[in-house]
Amino acid sequence: MNKTGFIFDLDGVIVDTAKYHYLAWRKLANELGFEFTQEQNELFKGVSRKRCLEILLEIGNVKASQEQFSRWLVEKNEDYLSLIEEMDESEILPDVLKVLQFLKKHNMPIALGSASKNARPILEKVKLMDYFDVIVDGTHVAKAKPDPEVFLIAAKQLGVPPKDCIVFEDAVAGIEAANNAGMLSIGIGDDKVLAEAKFVFANFTEIDNQFLNKLIGLTP
Ligand code: BG6
Ligand code: MG
C-alpha cells in the first residue's frame, strides 16, 4: 500500500503566529498614519510578505517608492522577529503534538509547506524540527498560495504522489492551493470561511484517533 504524505502549514496551524504578524503590520500602518484591524489581517493569512505589504498600502492608500517598499518590508520583519524572539513550546497550538506523534508512530512522511521565510527558526524555537522529514518554506517557492507550488515541491521531496497527500491549512488561499495540487485538504478554523476544504475542524483537539486511522488507511 502506498504511504500517505502529510503536509502542514505553519502559521495558524502549528503555532498562532498570526497575532504577531498582525502586531507588526499594525505598527507599520500606524507609523504610516492609518489603522489596520484584526479583520483586515484575515486577508493576510497564507499570503507572502511582499503581497501583504502591497495590500496594506492599498488599505492605507499609500504610494511607495521601490526604496520605501523594500525598507518597510525589512522593518516589518524586524519587528516580527523581535515579537517571536521569546517564542517557545508553549505556543504550539493544542493537540498539534498529539497528531504529529501519532503520524510519527505510524511512520508517515511529514512535511512543512509554509509561505513564511521564518519557518525554520520558528520550528527550532518550538522544538518541532525533528518531526519534519521535509521543510518547504517561503525561501523555496516562486509562486504564492493559492498556487499549488509549495505543496507540490513538498510532495516531490517526500516521494509521495500529490493524490496521496493530505494538507492541513488555516488559510483560504492555502486550502485552494491544496485543492489545486490535487491533494486532500483539511481546514483548521472556521468551516464557513474554509468552505472549500474537504474536512474542517476548529482545531486539532477535534481530530480523534478514529479519523487519523482513516487518514493513514488503517480503517476504511
Ligand atoms: C504565512 C502567513 O504563513 O507566511 C502570512 O500566514 C505571512 O501571514 C507569510 O505573511 C509570510 O511570512 P514571513 O514570515 O515570511 O513574513
Ligand atoms: Mg497559515
Question: What is the mean predicted confidence (pLDDT) over 17-33?
Answer: 97
Q: Of 68, 84, 100, which closes a domain?
A: 84
Instruction: Give me the torsion for CA of 76, 79, 85, 90, rounded to 10°.
Output: -80
| Residue 167 near residue 178 (C-beta atoms within 8 A) | yes
Q: Best substitution site from 49, 81, 168 to test ligand 1's pocket, by max atoms within 8 Å of Cβ? A: 49
How many helices (H) and strands (E) are present in the chain, helices listed first? 9, 6
Work out the pLDDT band at 2, boundaries 50, 70, 90.
Answer: confident
What pLDDT does residue 3 have?
A: 87
Domain check: are 123 and 67 in the same one?
A: no
- Domains held by the chain: number: 2
The H or E element containing residue 169 is strand 165-169
How far apart CA 192 and CA 69 sit, in angstroms, is 34
Judged by DSSP in three states, 111 sits in strand
Work out the pLDDT band at 172, boundaries 50, 70, 90.
Answer: very high
Ligand number with the minimum distance to the CA of 13: 2
Domain check: are 194 and 99 in the same one?
A: yes
User: Which three cell numbers, joined as nine digits, stand for 66?
Assistant: 521601490
Ligand 1 pocket list (CB less than 6 A): 10-11, 21, 44-49, 52, 77, 114-118, 138, 171
User: Which three cell numbers, joined as nine digits, stand for 70?
Assistant: 523594500
Environment class of residue 108 by beta-carbon count within 10 Å: exposed (0-12), middle (13-18) or buried (19+)? Answer: buried
Q: Of 60, 84, 108, which closes a domain?
A: 84
- Domain region containing 60: 17-84
In the 3-class helix/strand/coil scheme, how is 3-24 assigned residue by residue? CCEEEECCECCCECCHHHHHHH
Domain check: are 94 and 57 in the same one?
A: no
Domain check: are 62 and 169 in the same one?
A: no
How far apart CA 61 and CA 34 sit, in angstroms, is 9
Annotated ligand binding at 85? The verdict is no
Instruction: Quote the percentage of the chain above a pLDDT of 90.
Output: 95
Q: What pTM, to 2 d.p., does this model score? A: 0.95
User: For the ranges 41-45, 115-119, 151-155, which has the lowest average pLDDT?
Assistant: 41-45
Annotated ligand binding at 41? The verdict is no
Query: pLDDT at residue 26 above 70?
Result: yes
| CA distances (Å), origin 143, targets 18, 59, 101, 160 | 21, 23, 31, 21
Nearest residue (by CA) to ligand 1, atom 16, is: 49
Domain check: are 11 and 79 in the same one?
A: no
Atom from ligand 1 closest to the CA of residue 137: 15
What pLDDT does residue 42 have?
A: 86
Bridge-based pairing state of the strands 184-188 and 199-201:
parallel
Query: pLDDT at residue 218 above 80?
Result: no
Rg of the chain in Å (alpha carbons): 17
CATH number of the domain enclosing 137: 3.40.50.1000
Query: pLDDT at residue 1 above 70?
Result: no
Domain check: are 200 and 93 in the same one?
A: yes
Nearest residue (by CA) to ligand 1, atom 12, is: 116
Catalytic residues: 9, 11
Q: Which residues contact 71 (CB under 8 A, 6 or more apart)?
A: none
pLDDT tens-digit series, residues 74-90: 999 999 999 999 999 99
Question: What is the mean predicted confidence (pLDDT) over 171-180?
Answer: 96
DSSP conformation class of 186:
E
pLDDT tens-digit series, residues 54-75: 999 999 999 999 999 999 999 9
CATH number of the domain enclosing 41: 1.10.150.240
Domain check: are 104 and 80 in the same one?
A: no
Residues near ion ligand 2 (CB < 5 Å) are 9, 11-12, 170-171
Domain check: are 39 and 132 in the same one?
A: no
Domain check: are 79 and 51 in the same one?
A: yes
Q: Of 84, 112, 127, which closes a domain?
A: 84
Annotated ligand binding at 118? The verdict is yes
Query: pLDDT at residue 117 above 70?
Result: yes
Domain check: are 22 and 59 in the same one?
A: yes
Domain check: are 78 and 104 in the same one?
A: no
How far apart CA 64 and CA 70 sit, in angstroms, is 9
Domain check: are 102 and 204 in the same one?
A: yes
Atom from ligand 1 closest to the CA of residue 46: 6
Residue in the block written with cell 493530505: 166
Q: Measuring CA to CA, which residue among 202, 204, 13, 216 is closest to residue 123?
A: 13
